[in-house]
Chains A and B, each alone.
Chain A
Amino acid sequence: MKRRLALKQLTAVSLLAMSGWMPQVHAAGDTIKVGILHSLSGTMAISETSLKDVALMAIEEINANGGVLGKKLEPVVVDPASNWPLFAEKSRQLLSQDKVAVVFGCWTSVSRKSVLPVFKELNGLLFYPVQYEGEELEKNVFYTGAAPNQQAIPAVEYLMSEDGGGAKRFVLLGTDYVYPRTTNKILRAFLHSKGVKDSDIDEVYTPFGHSDYQTIVANIKKFATGGKTAVVSTINGDSNVPFYKELGNAGLKATDVPVVAFSVGEEELRGVDTKPLVGHLAAWNYFESIKNPVNQDFIKKWKAYAQAKNLPNANTVVTNDPMEATYIGIHMWKQAVEQAKSTEVDKVIASMGGQKFDAPDGYTIEMDKTNHHLHKPVYIGEIRADGQFNVVWKSKGPIRAQPWSPYIPGNESKQGL
């Protein structure tokens, strides 16, 4: 009995030791710690792992060029394991234990939402690299992915245009979580403004990891008999493969019913047999197939890095939009720090606005002065047989983000912080 409880105390103490009660020895001072908070296991690992790698690459690159403020960057990688509470715990650890100057991470909206309170409480700095639903603006977060008006709305406009096939009816198909819900809400409002009736909009949601799309594809076919139809897919990463396979085999070709996806990029297409998908579309702010020196350099660096670190399937690695966004984020942060001559969060935030960076997407893009989002160009690409995208439309230039979509009532007032 006694020993049993003695053991209990012992565990309690050793636990504290583990969880960093004991004063930890940090090689602080000569390096700047940078947190990387991406799931390396669990369901989200599929998408997030490559972001971790690209972040490490960027850090290596920066260090090779003399680091920041004469100090080397020291990446601190943790695995929140696709578990949202763990995201919160890990961010707290990064900020309060490892004392990182900045955190690059998160993919899903829920992971971002679960870490937000921590970042606010401890006044940390988060760079969020994924396109999302908007409707959020936090002092402690910089959003280097697209807001809905930088991705969804142009895509739908294109579908309605003559080149896009002049779609009259729309199937808004998504996984049932906040990003699709909000995006579709915005799109519906937008379509209304374009005179599309509700009877011509079909909103369908599937659970996470849904893998049987027979019925849904059949319904799309049925719906398409009512007139020229296009599908706007906000299906979450994993479910895309079964969906596209079903689509291809059911003989729904892009020439009949084009599908434009917001969560399908080069990385996702690695996992699909793309031949039946030729002609389906995706809207992003960056495609690997964009031709410009910066991008070629970016791709070259990435492939070289993959080889050097011999990542799995190193010879087939691709770049995609969130990876580019991560890359931009890290470099912009570096610039901001150098301008602020300090890694202090408030100073860095202050000097982030207006930062410019020659991005692989072919433009010198700018961090908005007020709303913590990037001005980004929009590209629409058709899937090619080789898993790359063939750009069929691009915006005139970078577009300013509207985190508060004008299509959602009550947002008119909200601008900037």
Chain B
Amino acid sequence: MKQTALTDLHLLARRPLYSGRAWAALAAAAAVLALLPLLNLAFPPGHALHVSAYAVALLGKFMCYAMAALALDLVWGYAGILSLGHGLFFALGGYAHGMYLMRAIGRDGVYQSDLPDFMVFLDWKAYPWYWSFTEHFWYAMLLVVLVPGLLAFVFGYFAFRSRIKGVYFSIITQALTFAAMLLFFRNDTGFGGNNGFTDFKRILGFDITAPGTRAALYWITLAALAGALVLARAVTQSKLGRVLTAVRDSESRLRFIGYDPLGFKLFVWTLSAVLCGVAGALYVPQVGIINPSEMSTETSIEMVIWVATGGRGTLVGPIIGAGAVNGLKTWFTSVLPEFWLYALGLIFVLVTLFLPTGIVGLARRLAVRFQERKA
């Protein structure tokens, strides 16, 4: 009898990444998304199965947002660290990639100079040091990971070491992001000031506006998103994931059983920042511009709202949330341009009041009720 008992304990111990059905559903969703660019390329406009380039581009953008939301959910949903500064990491990733894209323009700029146009009108004669090597794609990719990662690590190390928690942490992340935004707004900083980077021509030699390139970027984004989801799932399912939730629920207790929260927080915080940076890097070539407004308070708070709407601490929720909120935004800004802010604002209020667990939470509750009805 004890034997059987023990085995069921082992069952408790072993946690699969996803249930078989979940894997299937995920694959299905991914497949649907992956199909769209093909439909766009394969069928002529007007054909019933044609997907407009606009829709593809839009979804590509949303997937970048979704990835950022996912990253934010890792820290907020699991470790209970609310960041109002993820827009910063997103933008830094974007800028890192943007530097390469700017170099890739070559002499096709307005001034036919080796330098980007904004450096020309600043009368700069050469690239500042921090632009060196950015003409190499892979170095830029390295920066995409390193810059947000390092910043997050250093900032996080000091913040967590001095045990800054909750609202305080949120506010200083906001301060950091705001400062960074002001810094990037300055033309003298060397990142194009308010205009940021735009008018990209090519990436790795491919014309950046060609449908093929678009599709490729789209698929890469989709893959990255899926990868990020699996990775995040793996982390949260591991024992480390359980430590993180413990940090969220009772950090001091965790100390007394021998864990030092610093390292765990730092790990997930940095991971999240890196994911966010990658999302930003994928975002830039698809929307064709990166500028400091991505670091504005508004952007970061909206990210939080995507997570909240989708359901924090569920990983899939933020992805849905990012899609839903931005979808609504796109829709509203066209159908009721004068009043969409009312609608959006109201949604935020209602979600916080009546959907504390977000869309996913609602879905779960409905599911449960449904099953009870059946039983």
Contact = CB atoms under 8 A, between A and B. Distances in A.
Q: Tell me, yes or no, whether A and B come into direct contact in the complex with CB atoms closer than 8 A.
A: yes
Interface of A: 1-9, 11-16, 18-21, 23, 40-41, 77-81, 83-86, 88-90, 92-93, 96-97, 108-110, 113-114, 116-118, 120-121, 135-136, 176-178, 181-182, 185, 205, 207-208, 408, 410
Nearest to B47: A23
A113 B199 contact: yes
Given A181-B187, A208-B194, A16 B22 contact: no
B324 interface: yes
A4 B334 contact: no
B263 interface: no
B186 A19 contact: no
A5 B26 contact: yes
21 contacts: A3-B366, A12-B29, A15-B324, A16-B51, A18-B327, A18-B330, A18-B331, A19-B59, A21-B51, A21-B52, A40-B337, A84-B196, A85-B61, A88-B288, A89-B57, A110-B194, A110-B196, A117-B209, A135-B111, A177-B185, A207-B182
A4 B360 contact: yes
B231 interface: no
A182 B22 CA distance: 56
Interface string B268-304: 0000000000000000000111010110000000000
Contacts of A109: 195
Given A84-B293, A110-B291, 10 more contacts: A1-B18, A4-B364, A21-B51, A21-B52, A81-B333, A135-B110, A177-B187, A178-B195, A205-B187, A408-B121
B54 A20 contact: yes
Contacts of A23: 46, 48, 50
Contact of A40 (B195, B289, B328, B338): B338
Interface of B: 18-19, 21-22, 25-26, 28-29, 32-33, 36, 46, 48, 50-55, 57-59, 61-62, 110-113, 117-118, 121-123, 182, 185-187, 193-196, 198-200, 209, 287-289, 291, 293-294, 314, 316, 319-320, 323-324, 327-328, 330-331, 333-334, 337-338, 340-341, 359-360, 363-364, 366-367
B52 A20 contact: yes
Given A5-B316, A117-B200, A181-B121, A89 B330 contact: yes
A21 B57 CA distance: 12
A71 B195 CA distance: 38
Contacts of A93: 54, 330, 334
B185 A19 contact: no
A90 B366 CA distance: 36
B32 A12 contact: yes
Contacts of B50: 23
Contacts of A97: 52, 54
Given A2-B22, A5-B22, A20-B52, A117 B316 contact: no
A96 B333 contact: no
Contacts of B366: 3
Contacts of B121: 135, 178, 181-182, 185, 408
Contacts of A110: 194-196, 198, 289, 291
A369 to B, nearest CB: 22
Nearest to B22: A1
Interface SS of chain A: helix, strand, loop or mixed? helix
A9 B331 contact: no
B375 to A, nearest CB: 16
Nearest to B48: A23
A109 B289 CA distance: 13
A182 B187 CA distance: 11
A7 B18 CA distance: 16
Contacts of B28: 5, 9
A364 to B, nearest CB: 32
Given A110-B195, A110-B291, A208-B194, A6 B333 contact: no
A2 B24 CA distance: 9
B289 A96 contact: no
B94 to A, nearest CB: 10
Contact of B288 (A8, A117, A410): A117
A19 B54 contact: yes
B90 to A, nearest CB: 12
Contact of A12 (B122, B185, B323, B340): B323
Given A2-B22, A12-B323, A185 B341 contact: no
Contacts of A121: 209
Given A19-B54, A92-B57, A410 B111 contact: yes
A19 B60 CA distance: 12
B334 A16 contact: no
Nearest to B198: A113
Given A9-B28, A86-B333, A19 B327 contact: yes
Contacts of A96: 52-54
Contacts of A14: 327
B193 A176 contact: yes
A23 B55 CA distance: 11
A3 B323 CA distance: 17
A4 B19 contact: no
A71 to B, nearest CB: 21
Nearest to A109: B195
Nearest to A78: B334
Contacts of B117: 135
B222 to A, nearest CB: 11
Nearest to A411: B111
Contacts of B319: 8
